[in-house]
Structure 1
Amino acid sequence: MRQVDRHEKYLGIPTIVGRSKKAIFEAVIDRIWKKLQGWKEKLLSRAGKEILLKSVIQEIPTYLMGVYKFPRDTIQRIQSAMARFWWGSDGFKRKTHWRSWDDMCTLKCFGGMGFKDLGVFNDALLGRQAWRLVKASNSLLGRIFKAKYYPRSEFLESSLGFAGSFSWRSIWSSKALIKEGIIWKIGNGKKVNLWSEPWVADEGELQ
């Protein structure tokens, strides 16, 4: 059995993140390129390409997106690779892209193809982790993060700090998204600041 000083990855996620954040996503991009290069695009119909891109390529970075905030450059490279596969190429010459990838990410009922906007999808997955810290504060993840990053407050009132891990900064970046979509339902009113927090009265009080 080979002995190692440290594990570079655990469950596909790098255990140590240095100053260069883009370097940890190179493995994801390489994996996507290998998948795309292995498919014979000339033998696939548009429907076949759509199924492969949606069910395989867009799912590759999902697990990592739930932990880390992807750099914009990385997302653009992934979307560029998908666009090139979709529109095709003749050797080293790229064929014309008749529509932008943003238009391709529009829902089909609005004239697009319904591909995921990976930037928005990344924010949604991180927002889900942030919501877990709000609703399941007694979970192992919640207790560890609270003890390390916001011991005297709750997650929604926490500050970013100066020495947080890349994972913490990624999840914390979605806090604004969470705060836009939440609202207090008034019970006894003891935990709610009526002047600064969004709230709605109980249904019985509105009648």
Structure 2
Amino acid sequence: MEQEEQSEICSRLGNMKVAKQGKYLGLPMVITRIKDQIFGFIREKYQKTISSWSNKMLSQARKEVLLKAITIEMPTYAMSCFKLPVKLCREIDALMANFWWGEESGKRKIHWCSWKRMTTDKNMGGLSFKELQGFNKALLGKQIWRLLTCPKLLMSKVMRTKYYPNESPLSCKVKGNPSWIWQSLMGTMEEVKRGARKKIRNGKNTGIWEDAWI
């Protein structure tokens, strides 16, 4: 928005101020280029939680329950809206791996297995821990599915008006200077396309050569 428009809207709404930074419902309101710092609160929350567990004598089974039931759920809300930086995901993986293998006399114990191996299914030799980057993509993919299947939601109407007024979200492209949430959603589009199928119905909105239809 132009500065004049911002000032006019703020004055009409009772001398409100333009938000430069801050949080709303626990999420950052403004996403800048320095995303590692913006989403750093997730890493700090992990560190605080895991450090409170580290002083307790916990069996491997209890550690598994804590990591799966609590730590994986902590960033779920943020990952449903934004793509987290790869560096941040790796740092969180490292925190969980260090907690799993533990420490002795203030030194980390040897990691006898890579964390990537531990995120595989149990029937493949892993422990079924969530792989954060893949989990992030899955949650964002669910949001695209909501845009497709629930077009009357307020979120769907806003996104359609701004980013794809005359086409499907599956066929639109990232243009101009979109918000980070839209860039995050578009980053999972290929995965959604591979699994989505379109019902023909009356056929008016189906491209016979372009769409994957039933």
- After superposition, residues 1-207 of structure 1 pair within 5 angstroms as 6=19, 8-40=22-54, 43-200=57-214
User: What TM-score do you get using the length of structure 1 for normalisation?
Assistant: 0.89
Q: How far does residue 175 in structure 1 lie from its aligned partner after superposition?
A: 1.4
**2: CA distance, partners of 1:196 / 1:145:** 22
**2: CA distance, partners of 1:30 / 1:107:** 28
Is the contact between residue 41 and residue 85 of structure 1 (CA under 8 Å) also seen in structure 2? Answer: no
**1: CA distance, partners of 2:132 / 2:106:** 26
Secondary structure of the 1:199 match is coil
- Percentage of pairs with the same residue: 39
Is the contact between residue 68 and residue 129 of structure 2 (CA under 8 Å) also seen in structure 1? Answer: yes
RMSD: 1.7
Paired residue for 1:203?
none
Secondary structure of the 1:39 match is helix
Paired residue for 2:4?
none
Provide Cα deviations, 1:61-80, integer angstroms capped at 9, x if missing partner: 11000000011111100000
**2: CA distance, partners of 1:78 / 1:63:** 16
Secondary structure of the 2:142 match is helix
Is the contact between residue 174 and residue 186 of structure 2 (CA under 8 Å) also seen in structure 1? Answer: yes
> Which deviates more, 83-92 or 124-133?
83-92
1:89 alignment partner AA: E
Is the contact between residue 97 and residue 115 of structure 2 (CA under 8 Å) also seen in structure 1? Answer: yes
**2: CA distance, partners of 1:175 / 1:68:** 14
Is the contact between residue 41 and residue 88 of structure 1 (CA under 8 Å) also seen in structure 2? Answer: no
**Residue correspondences, number:** 197
Is the contact between residue 136 and residue 142 of structure 1 (CA under 8 Å) also seen in structure 2? Answer: yes
Change (3 A) 1:162 1:92: farther
Q: How far does residue 119 in structure 1 lie from its aligned partner after superposition?
A: 0.8
Q: How far does residue 93 in structure 1 lie from its aligned partner after superposition?
A: 2.3
**1: CA distance, partners of 2:210 / 2:159:** 26
1:75 alignment partner AA: C
Q: How far does residue 112 in structure 1 lie from its aligned partner after superposition?
A: 0.9
**1: CA distance, partners of 2:69 / 2:176:** 39
Is the contact between residue 17 and residue 166 of structure 1 (CA under 8 Å) also seen in structure 2? Answer: yes
Runs of 4+ in structure 1 off by over 6 angstroms are none
Q: How far does residue 196 in structure 1 lie from its aligned partner after superposition?
A: 2.6
Change (3 A) 1:182 1:157: same
